[in-house]
Structures are given as structure tokens and as C-alpha cells.
Amino acid sequence: MYAYGLETNPYPSSPTPTEKDAKILGGKRHKEAKSAILECIKELNCKVHGREAATGDFRVITVIQDVGSGKTHLALHIKNLQGRHNIACSFVDLSTISPKTMSSIYNAILKGLENEFFVQLRSKFLEYLGERAENGDGSAKKALDYSFVNKITGLTIKDKVADIVRGKEQVSVENLKVFLIQRFNHFEATFIKSVVTNSFESIGNLEELIGMMSSISKLTQRFLGKIVLFEMDEFDGNKESIEFVKGIINAHIPASVLLLVSTPSGYLEVQNSNPSVFDRLEKANYKIDLVGSNSKEELSEIAVEYIKHNDKNDKFGSKEQEELYNKIQVLCDEFPEFRNVRSLINILYHTMEKSEELELEKIDENAIDDAIRQTYPGLRVRGSIMDIPISDFISIRRSCDDDSTERELKKAVDNLTNFAQEMGNICKLEKQSLPLDAVYQDSFGSKVGIAVVANKNDSSNLVEISNISKSVVVDKLVILTNKKIPSPYNATVVNIDKSKMIDLFYFNSKYTGKKIAEEDNERAEILARTLSII
């Protein structure tokens, strides 16, 4: 059993999304992008409903953002929705096609369509062929290979069509060609024959490719009442890809939407390689920039959505969601490596595996720590002097901004001066009534005073610092603060950023727990020097 009582790991293990993984879509920005795409599809569906589509019934959508931002996931999610939104969708990853020829791109488009699409289209066309035959069309009867013998044995045309649909009978290919040539253009006739016989011919140039794509769209609208969504992932400055996309846009393939997925660098390649195509893309009907898709809030919402979707036992309540949300916020804050959907999902997948191994009720810091160590063995807390374990870092980081920050910092600084005395670097003195957190004599015999000022209220900090600088008499006054404040004329102000603050908290925890190991001595001494304590 996984954390939160889940029977399976809710996160995908694959570094690239699959259609199955893409059934779940989280994050406000991604959901907004989804709504925009579906709005475009809905608008086009309404426009062509009940009539034959024209060349103006064509739409272009661009989706652009960095690697790992969830672009492919979004495209595959839309493909998963094709049954609900009256579309037939072909997803093509252009980066997997090599060499990129018009023939290989066409084969990828066919492969990108669901098998059910071909089954439905074949069935609907054969029904149409049967209706023509029943209305006395001799050419249709010949195409169905419906003979006099069939008639006298009681086999109806509908029976014949049903048998062909089920694969018990075959059409007459030569007669089917004759029927198609009479009623469809060359490309449409070629595509229908391919669908009926399940034998697709190769194409040789861009003109043929555009002709076949137009046929797919027209025939899909005519026989299935759907528009076609062509999704082209990893579109960049490749010459063949640009030529292909330019041809589609110029042809205005009716009853279709072209959705292009690219990175900013890939989009720039297009601009540099072919300004005219870039200009066409700049005029796309919908331009979706997933800016903000790698924000902490978006990533947290995506991560939470996976568990919510799989929570069948209602064990992932609002409290658990908030706790996980906070943990992810810390990861995103401190580790740029996890500031994209792909990396974060990877870590959470391994964290969930750890939760099953450790029989955890929920994801905790230790499970995240183990997962990070396993998948990113060389990763350290950036800027940490004390070489803090990830689990301790996450736990400490979450408590840095509460009301006890100043009190805990004062304890940590006091203990760091105790440590410095034990190491023989300083000699602590009595503070007496001075408003200081530590007073000591350094190795040069100077009297040094340390004051920690870290209130939430900036104005009160300034007042406190002013009072301290006026009231104490020491050779050197050091003020440690987590705020950006002006330095008094007689004091040295040392800013304690988040990494130093956490180092102090971590040191204090080890010191008070008598867990300072020999390898910690040098790190703690460096920390003290960094803070001007020694």
C-alpha cells in the first residue's frame, strides 16, 4: 500500500508522458490552456456543423514553453478527450521521425490516429456504399461484389455490408476503384480504398501529403461528422518540418485544427530559418504560452491533482494536501532542478515508491530525502556550509518564517559562540545587562558584541538596532539580521540569508543534541567566520 492508502503509485514512471499518464491534468495554467484549445475546437465544430467544410474552416494553435513544462502532456490530454469533443486526433512527435521526409511524416500522421478511427470510418463508408447499392447504383453493387447468386440465396445488401464489416467477405477492389473515381477526387479515392482494404500507399512529395491530409479531414467530417486535430510536437527549425507546416497552413485544410508544440528556442529557429512561416505562426488563431507553468503554485497543484485523482478511499484530505503542497513549495524554492513538471513528477514517483517500502501513511521528509538521494545522488543544498541532509533541510526550511525565528536564531548564535570557545577561537564574557546575545574576546584581545535582530516588523528592527548601537560599549559590534537594513556607523551588519539561517538552525540542533561529529567541526568554524563571529 502506498502513502494515503493508494493501491498504485499515482505518478508516472516514464520521463516522457504517455496517453495513459495524460488523462490527469492539474495546474491552473494548464487547465486554462486546455480550455482555450477546446474553445477553438468547439467554435470550429459549430461553424462546419451541417454543411461541407471550406478552406476557411481551418485553425492554427501554437503551444510554446520550455522543456519539461508539460506541453506534450497537455497535447496528449487533449487527444484523450477526442471522444467527448467531436474530434479525431493525430499526435505526431516530429523529433522521433528520421529522416524527415513527406512519406515518413504521412506515415506518422496515420500512426497517430486511433485504430478505432479507421474502424469507424471504414464502417461508415461501407454503410454509405450499401445505401447507394440499395438505391440501384450498379457501380456500388459491383464494389460490394454483390452478385445475382447472393440475391437468390436471400443475402441482402445490408447482410453483405455487415459481412464485409466483420471481415467475413471482401469488397471487389477493382470495382471499388471505379466507384470511387466517379464520386471522389484522386486523393479521397486513394485514402478510402486504403481504409477499406487496410493497405496504405506511400506518398512522394508535399503536394501528395497535403492532398491526403485534406482527404482525411473532408472524409472525417462527411462520414463521421468530426473535425480533425493534427498535433505536431517538437516543431523546430528543421527544413522539412517547416516546409510541411508551411504547406498545411497555405492549403487551409478544411475542417481541421493544426496544433504546433514548440520550445522558445525551437520557435526562434523557425523565425531565423523561415520568417514567412514564423509570421504565419504569429498570426495563429490561438497562441498559448505556458508561462507560469513552472511556478511553485502550478507545480504543487499538478502534483496534488495526481493523488486526488487516485484517492479512492478519501484519505487525501485538505490537511494532507496542504502538507504536501508545503513540501513541494520548499523543493521548488531551494532546488532549481525540480522547477519543471518532468523533474518534480520523477521525484514524487520515487518518493511514492519509498512510501510503500517504508509503509508510510503519508509522504514525509525522509521519503523525499531518500528519493532525492537515489535519483540525484550528487545533489547538495545550494549554499549550505553545514552540508545539510535534504530531509533536515526541508523540515527546517518550512519553519523559518514563523514567530519563533528570532528566538531560535538567538539560541543558535549563542551556541555557535559556545562552540567557538570550545574550539579555542574566542573567550566568552558575561553579557551582564548589555542588550546583546553574546559577548566575547577574540584572538586579538578585542571585546566583541553580537546582537541578533530579526523581528517581522522592519521599523522595530531599525529602532532596536539604533538602541543597541547607542547603549553598548564594545570594541566591535556585530549585528546579525535577516533583513536588509542600513548599517550604523559603529556596527558591522551581517545579513543572514535563508541558507545561513538554516545552517544555524541545523548546527544548533546537532549541538544541543550533542551530535556534533568531527567532520562538522570545520564546517561549523567556517559558518562562524562567515557570520563574523570569529
DSSP letter, residue 234: S
pLDDT band at 172 (very low <50, low <70, confident <90, very high): very high
- pLDDT of res. 277: 95
- pLDDT of res. 459: 65
The separation between the first and the last C-alpha atoms of the chain, rounded to the nearest angstrom, is 52
User: Which are the contacts of 196, defined by CB distance < 8 A and separation ≥ 6?
Assistant: 122, 125, 126, 171, 176
pLDDT in tens, 71-101: 999 999 999 999 899 999 999 999 999 999 9
Amino acid at the residue 430: E
Whether the predicted pLDDT of 485 surpasses 80: no
Phi, psi of 404 (to 5 degrees): -90, 5
This prediction has a pTM of 0.79
pLDDT band at 236 (very low <50, low <70, confident <90, very high): very high
| Alpha-carbon torsion (477, 480, 486, 492), positive or negative | positive
- pLDDT of res. 466: 77
pLDDT band at 191 (very low <50, low <70, confident <90, very high): very high
pLDDT in tens, 419-472: 999 999 999 998 776 788 899 999 889 999 999 988 767 666 677 777 787 777
- pLDDT of res. 57: 94
Tell me the sheet residues that pair with 453: 481
DSSP string for 112-155: HS-HHHHHHHHHHHHHHHHHHHHTT-HHHHHHHT--HHHHHTT-
Query: Mind listing the domains of the chain with CATH numbers?
Result: 22-101+205-289 (3.40.50.300), 119-197 (no CATH), 294-379 (no CATH), 405-530 (3.40.1350)
pLDDT in tens, 312-338: 989 999 999 999 998 888 888 878 888
pLDDT in tens, 345-363: 999 999 999 999 999 999 9
Alpha carbon distance 67, 88 (integer Å)? 27
- pLDDT of res. 401: 62
Answer whether 379's CB lies under 8 Å from 372's CB: yes
Residue with cell 514553453: 65
Alpha helices (H) along 335-440: 341-357, 365-375, 390-398, 405-422
Calculate mean pLDDT across residues 291-301: 87
- pLDDT of res. 194: 96
For 106-110, 115-119, 481-485, which range has the lowest pLDDT when averaged over its residues? Answer: 481-485
- pLDDT of res. 461: 67
pLDDT band at 224 (very low <50, low <70, confident <90, very high): very high
User: Which are the contacts of 211, defined by CB distance < 8 A and separation ≥ 6?
Assistant: 186, 187
